[in-house]
Amino acid sequence: MVGYHVNWRDPERFSYRDWEILLQILSARMWQEKFGPIKLSCDQATYEMYSQIGVSQIYDDVEVFDQTLLAGIDPKIYFAAGKILAQLQAPEEKCAFIDTDLLIYGPNNFYDDSRVTVFHREFPHSSIYANFWDRWHIDLPVNELVYPLNCALVIWPEKDLRRNYAAHAMKFMRNNDYYGKHKANTLMVTAEQRLLGLYLHNLGIEPDYYIKDIYMSSNTKSMGLDWITDEQGTNLDAISNEFFHTWGFKHNLAADPMVSAEYTLRLFNLLEKYPEIDTEKILQKLKKI
């Protein structure tokens, strides 16, 4: 099954950290190893940068999307709009979209009997999934009991089903910019995660889940810190048997140079399994950009 990574960045923040690049390379290689080919879908500027440092060559194919199709969508609010556009344009009947900081390495048949498989359900907590249905323009029936769906992994066996969802999400992103006193992030998670739940519910489709239970940190009072040591994901020394995901720990990596350096070294060591990739050369080229 063809997998997809998607890269699209706000032109005002066009930069990548070492650990971001290494995680993406590792994610791509592990998908190829376990499931099959993986493509990179990105804008032209990202493609040129990735070609320059030697990352685009790792992929089985690269599809450059037309960034003008994102006109009218605010990248500061809808930072994952490129991922939704890629789902609209992907030519395959059956394909998977994988976050670039997600490693999937088993099992390889979890999606066989499902119309849609997502990473896991989310709690519709008001601090993250704030609702302004009276202010928002949305063309799907709203049901507060429908779970938002985490899209770190989405497997689509049907092209029309995928494209219709993406069309709904694109329309939502163009028509909504109100987020009240809450963070603008509430609009992105609505367009992607909540809207996907509502879309499938409206069609009477129950998705399958890679993680069967809703993921929650064991200590909800310090969830960001808990992710550092939680065996479900972010600690590379306590990697689970089926996946690894950076989750909210990326905020710690961006804020603390020492933590970032240690994390980068661990990823560098993991990539030694793939000697055909000159990781050191890639990072050297990245520093020159």
Measured CA to CA in angstroms, residue 69 lies from 115, 189, 196, 274, 288 at distances of 28, 20, 21, 36, 31
For residue 32, the enclosing domain spans 2-287
Helix ranges restricted to H, 59-178: 81-89, 159-175
Q: For the chain, give the mean pLDDT.
A: 86
pLDDT tops 90 at residue 215: no
- Its pTM stands at 0.89
Rounded to whole angstroms, the Cα distance separating 20 from 72 reads 28
Confidence (pLDDT) at 218: 39
pLDDT tops 50 at residue 56: yes
CATH number at residue 168: 3.90.550
Q: What is the mean pLDDT of residues 118-147?
A: 88
Domains in the chain, number? 1
Q: Report residue 29: phi and psi, to 5°.
A: -65, -40
Confidence (pLDDT) at 183: 85
